Structure 1
Amino acid sequence: MPLSEESGSFQSMQMYGLPMKNGEKRQLVFAEIKKLIKELHPELHVQPHVSLDSLLDKDLGLDSLGRIELLVRLEKKLEVHLAERVLTTAETPRDILRALEKSRGARTQRAPDERVVTEPVADVDLTRYEPLTLNEVITHHAEFLSDTVHITLDDFNNGEKNISFAELYKGAQEVAGGLQQYGLEQGDTVAIMLPTSTAYFYSFMAVLLIGCVPVPLYPPTRPSQIEEHLRRHTKILDNAQARVLITIDQVRLIGRLLQTQIDSLRAVVTVEDLCENRQSFVPIPCHEGDIAFLQYTSGSTGDPKGVILTHANLLANIRAMGQVTKAGSKDVFVSWLPLYHDMGLIGAWLGSLYFGCRLVVMPPLSFLARPERWLWAIHKYRGTLSASPNFGYEVCCRRIDDAALEGLDLSSWRLAFNGAESISSQTITRFINRFTAYGFRKECYAPVYGLAESSVGLAFPPLNRGPLVDVIKRDLFLRTGQATPTGEQESSLEFVACGQPLPGHQVRIVDSDGRELPDRQQGRLHFKGPSATSGYLRNPKQTKELFVDEWLDSGDLAYIADGDVYITSRVKDIIIRGGRNVYPHEYEEAVGDIDGIRKGCVAVFGSHDRQDGTEKVVVLAESRVVAPDRQAALREKITSIGVNLLGMPPDDVIIASPGSVLKTSSGKVRRAATRELYEKGIIGQKQRPVWLQIIHMSLVSVLPVLRQLYRKVGSYGYAAYCWLLLAVLVVPLTAGLSMIRSADKSWLLAHRCARLLAWLSGTRIDIKGRAHIEKQEHVLLVANHMSYMDALILTASMPVRCSFVAKAELGENRWLRRPLTNLGTIFVKRFDAEQGKEDSKRISQQVGSGQRILFFAEGTLQRMSGLLPFQMGVFVAAVENKTGIVPITIRGTRNKLRCDSWFPRRGPVRVIFSPKIMPTGDDWQAALSLRNAVRGKILSQVGEPDLAGEFSSLAQMDIARPEKE
C-alpha cells in the first residue's frame, strides 16, 4: 500500500522503529508540500505538479518562510534535526531528500529553565579613559579585561563558543599577520564575506589593526541567486577598490569570478589560509579621523553606496546611544542580526565592544528557522538589550507555538529596539500582548530611527517610556502633509514615534525649498552631528545630493510632534498622483492581506508616463494564481483597495509569479530596481539555472581576464626591461668608478648614469626644494628609507655631491668596495656596539671637515608602509659639530620596488628637500630635539603612518648612545 499522511503508515513505522525507505520519504515530502501549498493558496482549483526537481519557489510557490515551515514539519514527522543551511541551499524536493538522508538524531530541545550563571563583570570606566579609535578600545580591553568573556557564539546545534577580550585580540593578530603578507598599505580596503562566526570577528578586527578598512559583505544564501549576488558585489568591490577578499571555502568560486572582474582585487583567501601563512604582524597606528569601515547601503533605492564612517563617527554614535540607554559593562546584548548590517555590526557588536559588555550572537538562519531561539537566548543568558527589525517581532508573534515558550522568562530584557525598517503599530501591540505573560514589560519596547549615513542611530526614545503611537487624520495628511491628531479609527493613519535626536545631534523638517517646517507638518528630514558621514566613497554626485549646506538629507519624509520624530516614508518611494501623495508601504500591506497574494511580496511604485508626463501608480503582486479569471478577480480587489486608500485606482496592476519582486539582503522591497525591470518589460523573467548563470558570468569575465593577462605580461616585461637596463649600465659605471680617482668626477658619472636609468625606465622624478641644498656646504642630510632603489633615486636627484653612509657588508664585497669608496661612501657596522662608537667618531670628524654626508636614519627598510624610528648617530654628530640637517623625504619608491622583492613596477617618485634645521644646544637633549624636528618634518611629507611606537627598542639602534648618558 502506498504511504500517505492520511493512512498513518509512516507514523506506524516510526512507532515500531522501522526505518523509512527512500520512496516512502519521498511520498512523505510530496504530501507535506501539497498540504502546505493548499494552506498557502486555497484559491487554487488545480495544484501544481510536484516532482523531485520542481523549484520550491518558482514552480511550487513556496517563499523563504514557506520553505522554513515545510522543513520544520518534516523534522517533526521524521524526528530529525536539519542544519539551518538547508533553508538556503534546498531548491527542490530532491535537495530536501538529500538533506534528510544526511540528518542525524532527533530534533534537539532546549531545557526551559536552562540559564547561564555569569561571573561578575568589572565596571569599565570610560570617563577616565576615552578611546579615540576602535583599535584603542580592543587593546585597552585586552589588557584590563583580558579574561572577561566578550562574545558568546551559540548556534544551538554545536553548543556555545566563548571568546574573551584577550582571545579576540590574539585571534585578530594571527589573521592580521597573514593579511600583511599581501602587501596591504594603510587605508587599503579588505572585503569580508563571512557568516556569523569567530572568523568574522577576528577578520574585522585584524583589518583594523593593520590600518586597513573593512568592507562587510553578505555571503550568498541560495545558489540560484549567484548571478544577482555576483553582479551586486562586483559594483561594491569595484567602488571600494578592495585589495583582498576574505571568505569561506564554499564561495571561493564566486570569489574567483569576482577577482576576474575587479582590477584591484589581489587575492581571495580564507581565514585558515591567513593563519597558516601568518607571520608576526606590525600594528599600524590609526587616528580618529581615519576611515573605520565602509558601510554599503542595502540598495533598496538604487545601486549600493559606500558610506564613509570614521573612528570618530562610530565612537560618537556609540557613546550617544550608550548615554541614552544607560549602557554599561554589566549589560548582555543578545543578537541574531547579520554582521554585515549596521544594526548588527555597530549597534550590537561594536557597541558591546566599546562598553566592555557581553555579546551573545546567533546566526541569522538560526532565528529564521526557529525564532523562539532568540527569546530563549535572552532567557538563558539573562539578556538586557536586544534589537530586531519590525519583521522579527512579527515572526515571533505569528510563528512560535505556545508550547515552545513554556517556562520562558523575559524579565531581564530592559530594552527591545525596533528599527532598520518601517515600524508597525499593530506589530508592537501584538508582541506586547503576546509576551507580557512571559515577563516582557511594555516600557522596554523602544522604537528607534537611524541610517547608515549617521553611523547607525539618530533618534532614540526616553528610557522606560514604551512605544508611542500617533493617530492622525488620513485624508488631511494625504492632501496637505498636516499630521492632525484624531480619535476616529476608521479614517485615520498611525505612525510610531521613534524618539528624540541623540545627544549632540540635531534634526529638522524642511519643505521642498529648504524652509524649516513647524511641528506636525511633513517634510524632508535633515540631520547633523558628530556621527554623520562625510559622504559616499568615490561618488561625488551622490555626496553632493546628500548635503544641504551643513545638513545631511536623510531621504526620509517625517514630522516632529512634542519633540519625537515620526517617519512616514522614503522620499523616493512617494508617488505623487493627481496632487496627492501615495505611500507605497501602506498600500503594499493591504494588498498583501488579500487571499492569493504572497504577503511581503508586493511592490507599489511610480513610473513615469511618457504620454502625459505624470507618474502612474503601478502595483506588482506575486501570486501562484494562473487562471485568467482568478487573476482578474485579484486585480479587482487590488484596485478596490487603491480606491479606498488613495481615492483613485492604480494605473497598472500586475499579477506575477513568485520571485518577481526584488528585495535586498535584509528583506526590504527594492522598489527602484523593480520599477527598472517594469519599465524594461522584463518583470517575472525566469531565472537561468545555476550552471547557466555560472557559464554566463564566466564568459562575461573573459574580457577582464584578458585585460589582467595583458597587464601581467606588461608588468613582467617592464621588470625584465629594467633589469636589462641596469645590467647594461652597471658594467661601464662600475669600471668607470673604479678607475676615476676624483670624487667629484666619480659623483658626476654616477649622477648622470642614474638620471639616464630613470629616463630610460620611464621613472618620473619630481624634485621639490632643490634650492635648500644647492648652496649648503657644511650640512648633514637625513632621508627616510623605503626601497633598495633609494640610493639610485637620490643620486639622480642630488644637485651636489654627497657621501652616503652604508652598511659595512657592502664594503666587504670585492666588486663594490672600490667604486663605492671612490664615491666617498662611509661604511659602518650596524650590530657592533664598540665599532659603532668608532664609526660615530669618524663620521663626526668628516662632518667637521665640511663634507655633505647623507644618512638613511631609519637604519633599515621594510616592505610595509610606515616611518620607523630614527637612529641617534647623525643627530649626535650634528650637535657635536654644530651642523644643521637638511631633511629629505622620498615618496613612491616603496611601490616601485619593495623590500624582499626583485620585481620593479612603473610609477612616479618624489624627492622633497626641506629647509635646514639647526641644533639648539650641545647636549643629549639637543640631539633628541633635533631628531624629533627632522623626523617630524619627514613624517609630515611622507604620507605613511608613524611606526615609532612599534620599533622603539634600543637594540635596533646602530650607533650607541654616548657614554655620558
Structure 2
Amino acid sequence: MSRLPHAPRAHPDAAAVAQRLLRIIRQTLVELRPDTAADSPVSLHSVLDSDLGLDSLTRVELWSRVEREFGVRLPETLFASAETPADVLEALLTCAPTVAAGPRGSVERLPVSPQERLTPDAAQTLNEVLDWHVQRHPQRIHVRLLGENDTPEDISYLALQQGAGAVACGLQRRGLQAGQRVALMLPTGRDFLYGFFGILLAGGVPVPIYPPMRLSQIEEHLRRQAGILANAEATMLLTVSEAKLLARLLKPQIPSLREIATVAELCAEPGSFLATPRQARDLAFLQYTSGSTGQPKGVMVSHANVLANLRAMGKALRVSADDVFVSWLPMYHDMGLIGAWLGSLYYGVVLVLMSPLAFLARPARWLETIQRYRGTLSAAPNFAYELCLGKLADSEIQGLDLSSWRLALNGAEPVNPDTLQRFAERFAGHGFAPSALMPVYGLAEGTLGVAFPPMGRAPLIDWVERESFQARGRAVRAKPGSTDALRMVSCGQPVPGHQVRIVDDHDIELPERTEGHLQFKGPSTSSGYFHNPQESQRVRHGEWLDSLDLAYMAAGEVYLSGRAKDLIIRGGRNIYPYDLETAVGSLPGLRKGCVAVFGSGDPASASERLVVLAETNEQNPRVRQRLQQQIRRVAVDLTGVPPDDIVLAPPHSVLKTSSGKIRRAASRELYERGEVGRSGRPVWRQLLRLLQSAVWALLGRGWRSVRRACYAGYFWALLGLLGSLTWTAVLLLPRLSWRRRLTGGAARLFLRLAGIPLHIERLDRLRHPEVRVLVANHASYLDGLLLCAALPPEFSFVAKRELAGQRIAGPFLRRLGTCFVERFDLQRSAADAEHLAAALRSGQSLLLFPEGTLSREPGLLPFRMGAFVLAARADVPLVPLAIVGSRMVLREGQWFPHRGAIHLHICAQLLAPGPDWRDAIKLRDSARAELLQRLDEPDRLRLTG
C-alpha cells in the first residue's frame, strides 16, 4: 500500500475512528519514546518511521494495541506497507470487526523419516547436495511456504531443482559467465529459493541483499544498496517487478550491472542450461552484513566453508530427517539462509518457512506454527524471544503446545539472561523444556556457527564480580544472586573441528577467565572480504580470524562480553556508526564531526537502543525539533531504522581522542550516566573525569602487558638455568634414587621461584608401598615437571618412544628410568607392552598420560587403552591424577606463560573387576569419570562422539 496523499475516503465514523487511532499512537509514543514524544506531533500524515520514530519493533506494540482497541485483525501486509496513520485508518475502515483467534489446536503432521540420516556426506558443493536429494527422494517435501493466512505451498526437491534450472537457463541466455556475481533483492518466498539455486546451477555466485520493506521506499533503499552492488561487481540483479525501473537508474553508478530481471521473466524463457562444474574451493555466495553501506564487507563463503559448517552444526545439534525446522528469519541473513534453509536442505529436514513480516506483525504466529507442524528446531535473535514475552497476552497463548520444540537457538545478537529465564518460566506450562533454550555464537566470517552448548543442558549463567571484570577484565566468580555481580551467558564450546582462543592486543593467548579478543579457526572460516584486502588483512592473524568480539573462556565454554567493534545490533540488523555520523554531521545547524552514534542496552526490550548524540549551538525549541526530525529521516534513509533517542547537546559533549576520533564508548558512558548537557556540572569537569578514567585504564592495560612480558622472560630464563643444571647433575649422579630426588627438588624450586603455587590434595594415598598404575590428564607442557615435583620418587614415567631419540630429552629421560613405548609400529608396541607388564611384576609403579597427547583446547581427550589393560591384567590398583590449572599457565602451542596456581588431586584407587578387555574398558570409564568430576573442563569424547 502506498502512502495516501489525501484523507481516507468518506465513512460515517471516520472522524471518530481517526481520533481514537491518533490517541493510541500518541499514548504509544509517550510510553515507548518518552524522550522524543514531545517533539513528535502526531497527525494522519505523519510518517511513522522518520517523523514518529516507530521502527519495526515499536510497530509490533502499536499494531497489537490497535487490534485490541478496535477488535480487528489487521492485514499482515499493512505492517510493511503502512507509512502514515492515514494508511492504518484506511485499513481500519475496511476491516470487519473480528476478534483475533487464539492458537490453533489442530496439528498437521509433515512427512518425515524417523531417525533417518539423509545426508550427502560425499558432496563437495551445494549443487551436489541438491542433486543427491533429487536422485533419492525427488518428491519429498523440502520447504512448506506459508503465505497470507497461513496458506501453504509445498516445494519438493525436484520442484526446487526444476525451478532453479529454469532460472539458470534464463541467466545463461542473458550472458552470465561462471564466477560472476548476481544480486538477489527478493523477499522470502519461492522466487528467492529458485533464484539462489538458479544462480548456482548457472555457475554464478549469489549475493543476497535485503529487500525494501515498503515499495514506496525503493529509491532510497536502492541507493543504500549501491555500495554493495558495486563492491560485488554484480553483473545482474534479480528483484521484484516494482523495483526494475528504479534499479535501472543505478546502472551509471555500477558499471558492472548490465541486467535487471525478475525470476518470472527468467523462467519464461524456454530451453535448458549448461551445467557448469564447480569445485569445493569456489565461491558459493557472498554474505554482506546487513547495514553494510559506506564500506561494504562481503564475506567470501566457499562451498567447502558452508558444507563444513553445516556438518559441524548438524553433529553438534544431532540433526536428522525427522526434524522439522520452523523459520521466519530473513533469507538475506546468514542465520536464515545457512542455518534454516541450507541446513534443512543438507539434512533432509522439512523447512516450514514464514515471512519475517508474518512474525513481526503477529509474534504469536511463530509459536502457533511450531505447534501446528510439531516443529523441533527454530532459531531467532534475542529480541524475538523478548517480543513473545512482552507482546503476547495470556489469552493469545492459551492452549499452546510447544512440547515438540527440542532446540530453541538464540543468537545473532547479545543474549540476555533475563530473557532466557522468563521465556523458560512462562512457556514451561505449555510444554516447553528449559533445556531446549540454546544460546549460540556465530558470525558470517565463520560461515555461521562457531560455538554451541551441549544439548540437553539448560542455559549456563556465570556470575562474576563487577569491579574485577570492568577494571581488570578478570571474570572472578561471584556468589549467584549477588547485587554487585554481572551475569554472562555461555555460548558453549567450539563446534566440532573448529577452535576458539582468547588473546590480548598482541595476539598472546590469555588464561581462562580473562577477557580478550575472540579469535577462531577451522574449515568453515572465511578467507576474507571480497575486494576489501585491507579489512581482510585487519582480521586475519595467521591461521586465526579475529571476530572483533570480546569474550572470555571458562571450563572450555565461551562467554561473550561485548564487541570490540562499534557495530550496533538493532532488532537483528547491523548498523555501522561511521556512515550515520557522517550523514548526520552534514546537516545545517549541527557541528560537523561532532556526532556520536552508539548502542545502549535497553532492559525493557533486552536489545540495544540506537542513540544519536549530536552537538549544536541552537537553542530555539522549534529549530531543535526540526533538527531532530531531520536526524530521524537521515537515519531511516541510511539504515532503515529510526533512532531510539536523539540527544542534541552543547558543544564539546561528544568525546574525542587527541587525534580527533570519536570516542563512542566514552560518549555512551556519559549518556548512560545522564550527564550529557547536564547543567550543574561543567562539561570540562565531566570530560576531565572521563579522561582520567580512560588514562588509568590505558595505563593499567599497558602495565599488565609489560608485566606479562617481563614474567615470560623471567620464566624461561629460570627454566633454562635450573634445567641445564639439573640435566648435568642427572647425567653425573650414579644412583637412580638420587637422580629422581634431585629432579623433584629442582622442579619444586622452579615452581616456587616462578610464583606458581602447587596445591596437592590427598598425597597420602600414594605413600603406601604398593605397586600401582597412575594415569593423569595431559593439559600442558608443564605436566611432567609438576608431577616430578609432587610425586614420590618411586614412580616411573611412560613416554612415547620418539622422545628417546631426542638429543637433550633422550639422555635425561633414560637416566630417570623412563619407560618408552612405540605408538605406530604394532609389533614393537606389543613388545613394549610386555616390558611394561614385566616392570609392574618386578614391583615398579608406572605413570602414564592416557590421552597420548595434549591440545590447546580445554577438555579431556579420548583415552588410549594401554594403561588400563596393564592394570587389569596385572591386577594392580589404578590411581587417576587430576591436574587443574596447568593449561592456564602454559597452553600447548603457546610459549607465553601466565602466572597461576596449579592443583593436583590424587583420586581414590580403582580396581578392574577382571583381567579381560571388557574389564579394562570398565576401568577406563571409571577413571575418566573420576577425572571429569574434578576437572573444570568439558568431556571432549562426548563432544566428538
Q: Which secondary structure state, in structure 1, belongs to the residue aligned with residue 76 of structure 2?
A: coil
Name the CA shift for 1:127/1:430 in 2 (closer, same or farther; >3 Å): closer
Whether the aligned pair in 1 keeps the contact of 2:597 and 2:664 (CA below 8 Å) is: no
SS in 2 for 1:482: coil
Deviation at 1:384, TM superposition (A): 0.5
Matching residue of 2:364: 372
Tell me the CA shift for residue 274 of structure 1.
1.0
Matched, 1:145 2:133: no
Q: C-alpha separation between the residues in 2 aligned to 1:503 and 1:102?
A: 55
What amino acid is aligned across from residue 382 of structure 2 in structure 1? N
Pick closer, same or farther for the CA change 1:56–1:353 going to 2, 3 Å.
Answer: same
1:511 has 2:513 as partner: no
Q: Which residue of 566, 570, 580 corresponds with 2:563?
A: 570
SS in 2 for 1:161: strand
| Aligned partner letter, 1:601 | D
When residues 650 and 124 of structure 1 are mapped into structure 2, their CA distance, relative to the original with a 3 A threshold, is farther
Deviates most, 160-169 or 378-387? 160-169
Q: Distance in 2 between matches of 1:584 and 1:219?
A: 25
The residue number in structure 1 matching 2:488 is 495
Map of 1:271-350 to 2, 5 A cutoff? Answer: 271-299=263-291, 303-350=295-342
| Structure 2 Cα separation of the partners of residues 550 and 638 of structure 1 | 53
Which segment drifts farther, 424-433 or 347-356? 424-433
Q: Aligned to 1:109, which of 101, 106, 124?
A: 101
Structure 2 counterpart of 1:520, one-letter code: R
What is the CA–CA distance in structure 1 between the aligned matches of 2:183 and 2:431, rounded to whole Å?
A: 41
Contact 1:573-1:583 within 8 A present in 2 as well: no
TM-score by length of 1: 0.59
What is the aligned partner in structure 1 of residue 519 from structure 2? 526
Equivalent position SS for 2:203: coil
State yes or no: 1:387 paired with 2:379: yes
Query: Which of 122, 126, 131 is equivalent to 1:130?
Result: 122
Aligned-partner residue type, residue 408 of structure 2: A
1:252 aligned residue: 244
Measure how far apart 1:52 and its partner are. 2.3
Structure 2 counterparts to residues 556-955 of structure 1, below 5 A: 556-573=549-566, 601=644, 608-610=656-658, 615=663, 617=665, 619=667
Residue 422 of structure 1 and its aligned partner are, at CA, apart by 0.8
Note the aligned Cα RMSD (angstroms): 3.9
Give yes or no for contact 1:527–1:551 (8 Å, CA) kept in 2. yes
* C-alpha separation in 2, matches of 1:215 and 1:69: 33
- The alpha carbon displacement at 1:229 in A equals 2.8
Query: Could you tell me whether the CA contact under 8 Å between 1:181 and 1:278 is conserved in 2?
Result: no
Does the C-alpha gap of structure 1 residues 20 and 168 become closer, same or farther in structure 2, counting only changes over 3 Å? Answer: farther
1:34 paired residue among 15, 26, 46? 26
- Alignment CA distance shift 1:651-1:175 (3 Å): farther
Unaligned runs of 5+ in 2: 1-9, 569-595, 613-641, 648-652, 695-945
Give 1:285 shift.
1.9
Larger of the two Rg values belongs to structure:
1
Q: Distance in 1 between matches of 2:359 and 2:670?
A: 25
The secondary structure found in structure 2 opposite 1:417 is strand
Equivalent-residue separation in structure 1 for 2:120 and 2:35 (angstroms)? 66
Q: Partner amino acid for 2:222?
A: L
Deviates more, 1:32-41 or 1:232-241: 32-41
In the alignment, is residue 545 of structure 1 matched against residue 538 of structure 2? yes
Q: Which residue of 2 aligns with 1:168?
A: 160
How far residue 511 of structure 1 moved from its aligned partner, in angstroms, is 1.0
Deviations 1:333-354 (A, max 9, x none): 1111000000000000000000
Shift of 1:140: 1.4
Q: Which deviates further from its counterpart, 261-270 or 147-156? A: 147-156
Inter-CA distance 294–357: structure 2 relative to 1 (3 Å threshold):
same
SS state at 1:394 partner:
helix
Q: Which amino acid aligns with 1:516?
A: E
Task: Tell me how far apart the structure 2 counterparts of residues 535 and 556 of structure 1 sit (CA, whole Å).
Answer: 17
Identify the residue that residue 714 of structure 2 maps to in structure 1.
none
Tell me which residue corresponds to 2:262.
270
Instruction: Name the amino acid aligned to 1:160.
Output: P
Shift of 1:97: 2.6
Q: Using the alignment, how far apart are the partners of 1:468 and 1:191 within structure 2?
A: 40
Is 2:347 the counterpart of 1:355?
Answer: yes
Q: Name 2:463's counterpart in structure 1.
A: 471
Q: Which moved more, 1:340-349 or 1:213-222?
A: 213-222
* Match runs of 1:179-258 below 5 Å: 179-222=171-214, 226=218, 229-258=221-250
Are residues 79 and 106 of structure 1, via their aligned partners in 2, closer, same or farther at CA, if it must alter by over 3 Å?
same
CA spacing shift, 1:411–1:122, aligned 2, 3 Å: closer
8 A contact 1:81–1:108 mirrored in 2: yes
Greater mean deviation of Cα atoms: 361-370 or 112-121? 112-121
User: Structure 1 residue 74 and structure 2 residue 66: aligned?
Assistant: yes
Q: For the Cα contact (< 8 Å) 1:56–1:92, is it kept in 2?
A: yes
Shift of 1:58: 4.2
Equivalent position amino acid for 1:313 in 2: N
Q: CA deviation at 1:29?
A: 2.3
Whether contact under 8 Å (1:121, 1:148) holds in the other structure is no
String of CA shifts for 1:662-684, please: whole Å, max 9, x gaps. xxxxxxxxxxxxxxxxxxxxxxx
- Alignment partners' CA distance in 1, 2:562 and 2:293: 13
> In 2, are the aligned partners of 1:601 and 1:621 still within 8 Å (CA)?
no
Alignment partner of 1:115: what SS? coil
Structure-2 separation of matches of 1:30 and 1:189: 47
Q: What is the letter of the counterpart of residue 608 of structure 1?
A: K
Take 2:608 and 2:172, find their aligned partners in 1: how far apart are those partners?
56
- Partners of 1:473 and 1:493 within 8 A in 2: yes
The separation in 2 between residues aligned to 1:596 and 1:246, in whole angstroms, is 32
Question: CA 1:622 to 1:32, structure 2 compared with 1: closer, same or farther past 3 Å?
Answer: farther
Which amino acid in 2 is paired with 1:449? Y
User: What letter matches 1:506 in structure 2?
Assistant: Q
Offset at residue 359 of structure 1 (A) = 0.4
Query: How far has the Cα of 1:558 moved from its partner?
Result: 0.9
- 1:461 aligns with one of 453, 460, 473: 453
Q: Is the 8 A contact 2:76 2:148 kept in 1?
A: no
Question: 1:146 Cα deviation (Å)?
Answer: 1.3
Q: CA deviation at 1:564?
A: 0.3
Distance change in 2, residues 1:47/1:525 (3 Å): closer
Q: Size of the alignment, in residue pairs?
A: 619
Identify if the C-alpha distance between structure 1 residues 438 and 284 changes in structure 2 by more than 3 Å, giving closer, same or farther: same
State the shift of 1:306 in Å.
0.8
Contact 1:639 1:650 in 2 (8 A): no
Normalising by structure 2, report the TM-score: 0.60
Distance 1:46 1:426 in 2: 31
Following TM superposition, by how much is the alpha carbon of 1:62 offset from its aligned partner in structure 2, in angstroms?
3.4
Residue 117 of structure 1, CA deviation: 2.0
Cα distance in 2 for partners of 1:280, 1:593 equals 48
Report the 3-state secondary structure (helix = DSSP H, G, I; strand = E; otherwise coil) of the residue aligned with 1:143.
Answer: helix
Partner of 1:85: 77
Distance in 2, matches of 1:437 and 1:368, equals 24
Is 1:402 matched up with 2:402?
A: no
Give the CA deviation at 1:419. Answer: 0.6
1:497 partner letter:
S
Q: Following TM superposition, by how much is the alpha carbon of 1:647 offset from its aligned partner in structure 2, in angstroms? A: 8.9
Question: Could you tell me which amino acid in structure 1 is paired with residue 508 of structure 2?
Answer: R
CA distance in structure 1 between the partners assigned to 2:544 and 2:525 by the alignment:
9
Distance 1:210 1:593 in 2: 41
Contact 1:38 1:47 (8 Å CA) reproduced? no
2-side partners of 1:301 and 1:568: how far apart? 26
